[in-house]
Amino acid sequence: MSAHLPTVPAEPKDYKSELKPIWCPGCGDFGVLQALYRALAAIGRPPHEIAFVSGIGCSSRIPGYTTAYGFNSVHGRALPIAQGIKIANPELLVLVAGGDGDGFSIGGGHLPHAIRRNLDLTYVVMDNQIYGLTKGQLSPTSPRDLRTVTSPYGAMEAPVNPLLTVLAYGAPFVAQGTPADMAGLAQMIEEAIRYPGFAFVNVQSPCVTFGQDDWQVKQHRAAMKRLESLGHDATDLLAAMDKARDYGRELHTGVLFRNPAPPPTYESLVRERQQAFGNDVPSPARVLDAFLQK
């Protein structure tokens, strides 16, 4: 049996809230949610010690479907809010989730900075290459030439490559999954959460209503290639980047990169700085004394 059972065994249902998902039947996000319940049960932290932050989009509804403290914020701003939470209370397990539009388009400016600060956050992106909530417009990961209601003659831009991007920004843990392999996804999310630093999981989570008909979970099942079985060395950044380049052409699943020497987390540096002043600190009530002119 599993060697690392938590002391109080948690069950996936402990993390499932009363709120019923409004996602379309067949949506990839159902599988992601299920995998997440599993990962959280495996970790075993009680729900009240988890803060789960999202932005806006179909996938950003996800915190409400868990029993954790949730924050379904505004479009693109999940990462800044999550960082504030983690700095304010480093004891919390802080999860961030959202879609590709939320993370790589409107919130794209926050990503490099969250990564370089390296807070111990887990960021799960449900990447469906489309704007589903607003009915099927181009997203930052839509493939070139994709025809949508805002690109009726085909997309004229190259897609963002989320994997290569986060690797280039220096993310210490990068993985990719699909709801076609929920068990693998659960394991990957669990590993991301356990990783002591910023962990990024890109989930190719197809949109059943506005996505491409020939790139649904069914096709993922046939197309996915496990990095493990390809002999990929996840400690090798260049090998990870090489595999990341296949984004949009191949569906690699598993851990692309796991920095074996995790850099210090931001919150640990915050704590060090706070402690550097010791106990010999003037009371906040004496804060005006420094302005006295003698």
Site for other proteins in 69-108 (CB under 8 A): 69-74, 77, 79-89, 91-92
> Is residue 227 close enough to count as binding other proteins by CB under 8 A?
no
Which of 36, 98, 197, 217 is close enough to bind other proteins by CB under 8 A?
217
**229 secondary structure, DSSP code:** G
> Is residue 258 close enough to count as binding other proteins by CB under 8 A?
no
> Is residue 261 close enough to count as binding other proteins by CB under 8 A?
no
What's the CA gap between 157 and 138, in Å, rounded?
10
Q: How many residues bind other proteins (CB under 8 A)?
A: 93
Give the shortest CB-292-to-other proteins separation in angstroms.
6
Q: What is the dihedral of CA 199, 205, 211, 214, to 10 degrees?
A: 120
> Is residue 211 close enough to count as binding other proteins by CB under 8 A?
no
How does strand 199-204 pair with strand 173-177? parallel
What's the CA gap between 263 and 284, in Å, rounded?
33
Which of 46, 143, 196, 262 is close enough to bind other proteins by CB under 8 A?
46
* Positions of E strands within 8-76: 50-54, 69-72
Structure tokens at 149: 């209601």
Structure tokens at 253: 């699943």
> Is residue 274 close enough to count as binding other proteins by CB under 8 A?
yes
Give the shortest CB-261-to-other proteins separation in angstroms.
25
Which of 144, 150, 218, 263 is close enough to bind other proteins by CB under 8 A?
218
Where does this chain touch other proteins (CB under 8 A) — which range of 41-49, 155-163, 195-203, 256-264? 41-49
Provide the phi-psi class of 282: left if phi over 0, else alpha when psi is between -120 and 50, else beta: beta
Scanning residues 120 to 139, which ones bind other proteins (CB under 8 A)? 133-135
**Choice between 2 and 156, CB closer to other proteins:** 2
> Is residue 187 close enough to count as binding other proteins by CB under 8 A?
yes
SS3 85: helix
Which of 123, 210, 247, 257 is close enough to bind other proteins by CB under 8 A?
210
What's the CA gap between 107 and 80, in Å, rounded?
9
